Amino acid sequence: MTAIVLRRVAELLLLLLTLSVLVFLLTSLAPGDPAEEILRRGGIQPTAASVAALRAELGLDQPLFSQYLRWSRDVLRGDLGRSYADRSPVAAEILSRAPTTLRLAGSAAVVAVGLASLVALRGAFQPRALDSRALALVTVAIAGIPPYIVGILLISVVAVGLRALPTGGDGSPAAVVLPALTLGLAGAATLLRLLRADLARALRLPFVKLAAVKGLRRRRTLVVHALRVAAPNAITATSLVLAELMAGAVVVETLFAWPGVGQLAVTAIKQRDLPVVQAYVLIVAVATVLLLALTELCLAASDPRLRRR
């Protein structure tokens, strides 16, 4: 058992190392010169001498491998560098915005998991009911629409037309409703398709049919037996949906002017602010890897066959 745990930890560390290399290379090799962008934003016309001096000050004149070693060493110490835009610590800027993004992602996760679970259970309990079919059809149809289109429609109908909710920002508790719905509906559709299929398959299993024959109520059969069979795939799908929510927050935060980490990343991309972009991509990648590792532990806890393996 100890050897298995050590092997999994080694695999996780190797994966994180590979992710750090990819994040650094993809952001550093992007088109454009950050030094020129900084000078132009400061109202200075870039010259060869001024660009070279600023690149030397930022350490961009060093070989790429030396830049990566310095950056990775600082990251391991918890130092994500300083923003090129205002020279403020990147870690402090991200930490100040992280609670806002987590609130949005958490609300979207509640929408996605709650809506998918309710519709799937309703469909499994009464598969021929008109309302369950209609809800499933609408939820799945939304999956084919890009999130920003869903967001624009919600803003146009709910915020502008009905004046029921704010169009954006973080000025009131109600402001999170529209962005959370926009972000959560796509995730709900993905999770719903899997849950409906797994529950339908579970209800056809012999031991589940036997429980029904013995007189166990359908609701109890569904909750006690069918859900237990569908749990492993549901856990995996939920983790993938949560990972999609973290990645999709960038578009939704920009659309709704939500002052989170995603909006900070979009601004940094426009300004070629490499330290902020690198920190954001690295944090999202590491969070996704850790989420999948946690999912594996949950799967082992819910399925005895995986524990034996």
Q: Where are the domains of the chain?
A: 2-76, 98-271
Residue 107 in contact with residue 180, Cβ under 8 Å? Answer: yes
Position 206 scores a pLDDT of 72
Question: Considering just the CA atoms, what is the radius of gyration of the chain in Å?
Answer: 24
- The confidence score (pLDDT) of residue 55 equals 82
> CA dist 165 to 86, 156, 170, Å?
34, 11, 12
According to the model, what pLDDT value does residue 140 have? 66
> Nearest-CA neighbor of 100 among 110, 108, 88, 89?
108
In CATH terms, 98-271 corresponds, of 2.30.110.10, 1.10.3720.10, 3.40.50.80, 3.40.190.10, to 1.10.3720.10
Which pLDDT value is given to residue 5?
65
What stretches in the chain show pLDDT beneath 50? none
